[in-house]
Amino acid sequence: MQVADLYVRVSTDEQTKGYSPRSQEAVLRQYCQLRNITVRHVFVEDYTAKHFNRPEWRKIMVILRKQRNKTDLLLFTKWDRFSRNTSDAYQMIDVLKKLGVEPQAVEQPLDLTIPENKMMLAIYLTAPEIENDRRGLNTKAGIRQAKKEGRYMGKAPRGYINKAYEDGRRYITFKEPEASIMRWVFNEVAEGLYSSESIMKQANERGLNIDKNTFYLSLRNPVYCGKIRVAATNDELAHLVQGLHEPLISEALFYKVQDIMDGRSKILKGLAIATPKDLPLRNFIKCNRCPRMLTGSASKGRNTYRVYYHCRSSCGIRYKAKDVNNAFMDELTTLLPRAGYPELFVASIAEAYTNQHRAIKEESDELIRQIGEANRKIDNARELLLLHELEANEYRKIKEENGSTIARLEMRLNEVNVQKSTHVNIKKLAQMAINALCEVDKLYDIASTEAKRYLVGILFPEKMTYAEGVCRTGKLNRAAELIYLENKELRAKKMGQKSRLKTLPHKGWNMGLEPTTS
């Protein structure tokens, strides 16, 4: 009497709760009963047949190898229950034959010892594979069209959650507190002061719970600025479309982050956010004996801990943290505006702000020129394509590169246009700023460790040195030079000469020492 194992398969877990598994098993048991075949095991699978890397199928192969020649048949209802991949199916049939097992579909029986039946087997195996491929193409086409219409497909990114309307249409919306944390992440990366890894760690402490790879992929995801990425095909270039969901951040902020990550935007040195309160200058001070930066740590004495700045190498550089911190405070006091400078500062800022509109107009004209130049490159490439002097793939590459450039320039142009229409009481803001800067040493003294490091990073993009009890700072940030009146133009103006300084950088206000303005 022959012995058989029964294999029942459906594609999804939901189908296991329906009638199909029981129906298949009933057909197989009836087949065995009519032919006096003994049923040994029944395996029920809820997995795809595109490959044989299936949980239950792996169990079958383990049992068949351990109990070789104890099973004569492996029965299933149809060949598409066995496999929907022709090449894999032929290989698995050979493996089963070597184990002394004959696979057979009871509703599509074939005697594989007859050569002509192999043609029928090919039809039985190929038809489901073709059906799978066609269904896959239709699904991809539907997903692509949905993306073109602005719908986000797939699992929602961090900060969003998948939901559905009453009619079944799905959409994504904000999920708090993840949305607020991701908004904070983009703003911090765009600020350029802290390293991305430090920002990620801080975000995880706030409850984001994200790994490094997902974090960097999220920063590249245009979904956060309300765009949906449509992948390239043979007939169409990759492009972005306006999504139906609400954006978490502005397009300007998203592209600013992309520029920073791509190295197109010069940013401040990436710093660690978290640092001990007694070591606010850690990684800001250069070692005097090697190219490394000084780190910091505490060593335990008899009764208390002693904190030091020291080098990571074996060069032996080591300073008491208290001495270095006090020396930096002394250096910071030398930057305070001298008597008479606050009034000059306010007057100079007011004059620069008045002239700034001309600089903004010049920048606007330059952006328009660059956009026009990029459009001309695309037009020229199109003409060369029509004249068969340029390959289609080369044209697509030129169009994609210049299209990305145009998008960035248009975003910047929108920012400039907003600045054109923005008017503030500049004298009042400048007076508030200079009042704060006149007491920057006191502000630094009472600030939190994070705020201290932010201020140091803003003021001194170049690292400092410490020797013989004196902390020497490098070149000041350009905006800081202007604010502290260190440059020649403002010194000349104090002496009664005409200032050659027409405009001040309009982004020089993000110092954190005065109220945020639009």
> What is the side-by-side strand order in the sheet with 73-76?
38-46, 3-10, 73-76, 102-105
Enumerate the domain spans of the chain: 3-132, 149-269, 354-422
The C-alpha angle with vertex 43 and arms to 41 and 44, in degrees rounded to 5, equals: 150
CB-based burial of residue 482 (10 Å sphere; 0-12 exposed, 13-18 middle, 19+ buried)?
buried
* Angle at 72 (CA atoms; ends 68, 75), nearest 5 degrees: 120
- Please say whether the beta carbons of 157 and 221 come within 8 A: yes
Residues 105-124, mean pLDDT to the nearest whole number? 85
Output the furthest CA–CA distance in the chain (Å, rounded).
115
Over residues 338-344, mean pLDDT: 72
Q: Which residues contact 388 (CB under 8 A, 6 or more apart)?
A: none
Element of type H or E holding 466:
strand 465-467
410-428 burial, b if ≥16 CB within 10 A, otherwise e? ebbbebbeebeeeeeebee
3-132 topology per CATH: Rossmann fold (3.40.50)
125: three-class secondary structure by DSSP = helix
* Alpha-helical runs (H) found in 295-340: 321-333
Question: Could you tell me the pTM of the whole model?
Answer: 0.50
Q: How far apart are CA 459 and CA 474, in angstroms?
A: 10
Q: Which of 11, 20, 195, 265 is catalytic?
A: 11
Lowest mean pLDDT among 91-100, 191-200, 206-215, 348-357: 348-357
**If pLDDT is split at 50, 70 and 90, which confidence band does 477 have?**
low
* Tens-digit pLDDT profile for residues 56-79: 999 999 999 988 888 889 999 998
The pLDDT score that the predictor gives to residue 186 is 92
Nearest to 325 by CA among 289, 276, 278: 278
- C-alpha distances (whole Å) from 190 to each of 206, 249, 486 are 19, 12, 28
Mean pLDDT of the region 405-425: 76
User: Which of 28-37, 120-129, 166-175 has the highest average model confidence (pLDDT)?
Assistant: 28-37
Q: Which of 78-87, 269-278, 443-452, 508-517 has the least mean pLDDT?
A: 508-517
Q: Identify the CATH assignment for 149-269 out of 3.90.1750.20, 1.10.3720.10, 3.30.479.10, 3.40.50.300.
A: 3.90.1750.20
Respond yes or no: is residue 11 known to be catalytic: yes
Q: What is the mean pLDDT of the chain?
A: 80
Instruction: Annotate 181-192 with b (16+ C-beta within 10 A) or e (fewer).
Output: bbbbbbebbbbb
- Residues of the chain with pLDDT > 90, as a percent, come to 13
Q: What is the mean pLDDT of residues 316-326?
A: 86
- Angstrom distance (rounded) from CA 359 to CA 420: 10
Per-residue model confidence (pLDDT) at position 224: 92
pLDDT tens sequence across 246-305? 999 988 888 888 888 877 655 544 444 445 778 888 888 888 888 888 888 877 766 777
Per residue in 278-292, pLDDT (tens digit) is 888 888 888 888 888
